[in-house]
Structure 1
Amino acid sequence: MQHSQQNRSETKIARPIAEANQDNAANTVRPILLDNQVLLPLIACLIGVVTVFIILYLARFFFSPVISAFVMGIVVSPLSRLLRKLRLNRALAALATMLLVLAGLAALIFALEPYITFAIQRGPAIWAEFRDALNGFTQMLKGLGDISKDIAASVTGAGAGEVEAEPEVEVPSFTDALFYAPQVLAQIMVFSGTLYFFLLARGDVYAWIGASMPVLTRDDLDRAERKVARYFLTITAINGAFGTIVGMVMMVLGMPSPVFWGLMAFLLNFIVYLGPILLAAALLVAGLVVFDGPFTVVPALVYMAMNATEGQFVTPALVGQRMSVSPLLVFLSLTFWLWFWGPIGGIIAIPLMIWTITITEAALGQSISAGFPGREAQSLKKARAG
């Protein structure tokens, strides 16, 4: 009897110990399982993203005009909607919008063509003038005769005082290079076709995505489209006014080809941060070639002051804080797409980033750009409910 009672008591004691051991084992295994459940999808997602970008890079001659057409279609969507309100059917509205976009791009290219052709033909002479101006500026700063002679000898060779005649080389014009390049023509055709069919079937595509993805609706996609279009059209108006003012200021300063500098200010201002730096460097080089003395740096300094005023006061006032994004995110996105696809990547980087952020915020129901999670959730819910 005593043995049976002792066995029962040992059994009662052993059961809690065994259950506790099982709980401890479960607790030790559960974090590992949770880590694996989180880690494996992250690894799969990372591999998928890397694979997508590898494909985009290897097939960039196809995907760059396609994605550029998508971005352009989102930007000019208000024009297509306006034509629809004027009683045009979808096909005619899409065709008219595409033709207007191509006409605008062609007008911009032909406006820049004389200046680019002149720069190509006069490139050696401009470089020689810049080299002479830079050598004189270096000698003035250093004031060391022996070092200056060594630099002059290494740059100009034995005949430092003689100017070598540049050989006459027949350089094809920019228009010839454009229209005789099959690769460029193929990309233009891909861009035009993608833009037309995207404008034609944009609503159906949004409806299909909204029906296929439970976290997004067609209203979310329409909202992202309107946000990108509003941003890009506002920036285009700002850059147009800014380029006009820059051209007028360059004319007052006596810079040659002020229309060219105005157009370059308009275009390069789309590439935030890096575009103004490139134009300031170009104005500095042109100032060294055109002017003498301290006035050589005046065009670049005036442009930098104008760009700082526009970037700090005009753009924030017109665009608004509601569309502000982290400057670090803007810079990283811009540099990545410039490295990835060159100038085309630099142009589509900001609209593509704004569209991606807007879609992601709609899917998550919270803000990811301003750094305050949950702040946008209520506004997004109200927008969806409304």
Structure 2
Amino acid sequence: MSDRTIDPPLSEPPEPVTEPLPPARHRHNAVAVATMGLFVIALLFSLYFGRDVLLPIMLALILSLLLRPCVRGLYRLGLPEGLGAAVMVVLVFGSVLIGVYTLSTPAVEWVNRMPRVLHELEFKLGDIREGIQRAREASRQLEQITSDQNGAAREVVVRGPSLAEQVFTQVEAVIANVVILQVLLYFFLARGRQSLEALIGTMRDVDDRVHYAMVAATVQQNIAAYLATITVINFFLGVATALAMWMWGLPNAALWGTLAGLINYIPFIGPAVVTAILFLVSVLSFDGLFNILGPPLTFVALTTLEGNFLTPMIVGRRLALNPIAVFVSILFWGWMWGIPGALLAVPILAILKILFDAHEPLKPIGALLG
């Protein structure tokens, strides 16, 4: 028997420890969430920096929804849509121009009087006067601290555009936006229906064409009725405010009534702003606590009646919106587009609610807004 050396068996290398890969569905969800986040960021970026272009388009679109029934009525009377659209544009902007011309004189007088507001409040309200005195004393102390060793305060002169140049620039921008708005409104009224029908006609599925035609009709009818109702309510609120301010003896009552009717398109914030303005005007116009508090408290009573009884009874059945959603929408669009955005916040929210309710996956969001 021969001696043989038996080699030990080679040990196999250990298998690498690897973590199990996540399921494909999870990876797909993560990619979808990341894509949606990037889309939202891009959308916010576009809305904010494109407001100079998007704001006139959105305003013209919402005005076209309001005025479209009028153009349709003129068409039934035998007036072509193009001519009817021109008539409505001339009537709307002509009325606005007449109103601005009529109220411009008292508005300019109050603007010129604003530098005197602080001085008059200082004598009529003792607490405010003491606060102003403390603020002036703190300002003087700060000036002494920042002065140099010789006691001469350092002066920093910032050269910029003059007041006349700034006013001219703002007026030029307003005129350009008004012209753009007029042109867009005319084309939306004259060609909007044909463009929408052509867009829906490109869809291959008949069910899709019927569905989106019904959605467009719902948006048109509900938003037009909502805007018309709110406009009528705000008109009568403005008239009631003007009459109440006239009875209290407040100067330029028509100006405050117009302001109340316009700013009431911004729920919550608008009435609060008008109340503060009426309080300041009352302080500057009257003596005595009763006369000073009378006009703002009267306006608060009018807006309470309108906001808690009249508007919910008329509008609530047609298009109910969540007050929280309304307030958040005002803050968001006000941050995006300023005062015009705050004015458009509620109509935009109403349009979004209708669109969300029309699509099954988005119905929970529509229920949250309602």
**TM tier, shorter chain?**
0.7 to 0.9
In 2, Cα distance between equivalents of 1:230 and 1:367:
24
Which deviates more from structure 2 when the two are superposed, residues 259-268 or residues 178-187?
Answer: 178-187
User: Letter of the aligned partner of 2:276 in structure 1?
Assistant: A
Note if 1:244 corresponds to 2:239: yes
Counterpart of 2:41 in structure 1 is: 50
Report deviation, 1:70.
1.0
Counterpart of 2:251 in structure 1 is: 256
In 1, Cα distance between equivalents of 2:114 and 2:254:
19
- Overall identity of the aligned pairs, in %: 26
In 2, Cα distance between equivalents of 1:111 and 1:178:
21
Decide whether aligned partners of structure 1 residues 100 and 364 sit closer, same or farther in structure 2, where only a CA change above 3 A counts: farther
User: Letter of the aligned partner of 1:330 in structure 2?
Assistant: V
- Given the two structures, how large is their TM-score scaled by the length of structure 2? 0.78
Counterpart of 2:26 in structure 1 is: 35
Note if 1:68 corresponds to 2:64: no
Contact 1:209/1:217 (8 A) holds in 2: no
- Which residue among 185, 208, 214 is the counterpart of 1:219? 214
- Which residue among 307, 310, 316 is the counterpart of 1:314? 310
Counterpart of 1:182 in structure 2 is: 172
Match of 1:255, SS?
coil
Report deviation, 1:58.
1.6
User: Letter of the aligned partner of 1:181 in structure 2?
Assistant: V
Deviations, residues 180-232 of structure 1 (Å, cap 9, x unaligned):
83222221121111111111221123224434564851221121111111001
Report deviation, 1:308.
0.9
Report deviation, 1:72.
1.0
- Which residue among 323, 327, 346 is the counterpart of 1:327? 323
**Residue-pair matches, total:** 322
In 2, Cα distance between equivalents of 1:194 and 1:149:
49
Which deviates more from structure 2 when the two are superposed, residues 230-239 or residues 360-369?
Answer: 360-369
In 1, Cα distance between equivalents of 2:44 and 2:136:
48
Decide whether aligned partners of structure 1 residues 286 and 341 sit closer, same or farther in structure 2, where only a CA change above 3 A counts: same
Question: Can you give the 5+ residue segments of structure 1 that lack an aligned partner in the other structure?
Answer: 1-27, 140-146, 158-170, 374-386
Deviations, residues 290-336 of structure 1 (Å, cap 9, x unaligned):
22232222221121121111100010111133411111110011111
Decide whether aligned partners of structure 1 residues 249 and 179 sit closer, same or farther in structure 2, where only a CA change above 3 A counts: farther
Decide whether aligned partners of structure 1 residues 104 and 148 sit closer, same or farther in structure 2, where only a CA change above 3 A counts: closer
Report deviation, 1:368.
4.0
Decide whether aligned partners of structure 1 residues 150 and 272 sit closer, same or farther in structure 2, where only a CA change above 3 A counts: closer
User: Letter of the aligned partner of 1:85 in structure 2?
Assistant: R
User: Letter of the aligned partner of 1:279 in structure 2?
Assistant: V
In 2, Cα distance between equivalents of 1:339 and 1:152:
30
Which deviates more from structure 2 when the two are superposed, residues 332-341 or residues 360-369?
Answer: 360-369
User: Letter of the aligned partner of 1:256 in structure 2?
Assistant: P
Note if 1:361 corresponds to 2:357: yes
- Which residue among 80, 83, 93 is the counterpart of 2:71? 80
Deviations, residues 18-76 of structure 1 (Å, cap 9, x unaligned):
xxxxxxxxxx86x7422333332333233223213312322322221121111111121
Counterpart of 1:278 in structure 2 is: 273
- Given the two structures, how large is their TM-score scaled by the length of structure 1? 0.75
Counterpart of 2:343 in structure 1 is: 347
- Which residue among 104, 107, 130 is the counterpart of 1:113? 104
In 1, Cα distance between equivalents of 2:132 and 2:98:
49
Question: Can you give the 5+ residue segments of structure 2 that lack an aligned partner in the other structure?
Answer: 1-19, 141-162
Note if 1:229 corresponds to 2:224: yes
Contact 1:62/1:190 (8 A) holds in 2: no
In 1, Cα distance between equivalents of 2:132 and 2:176:
52
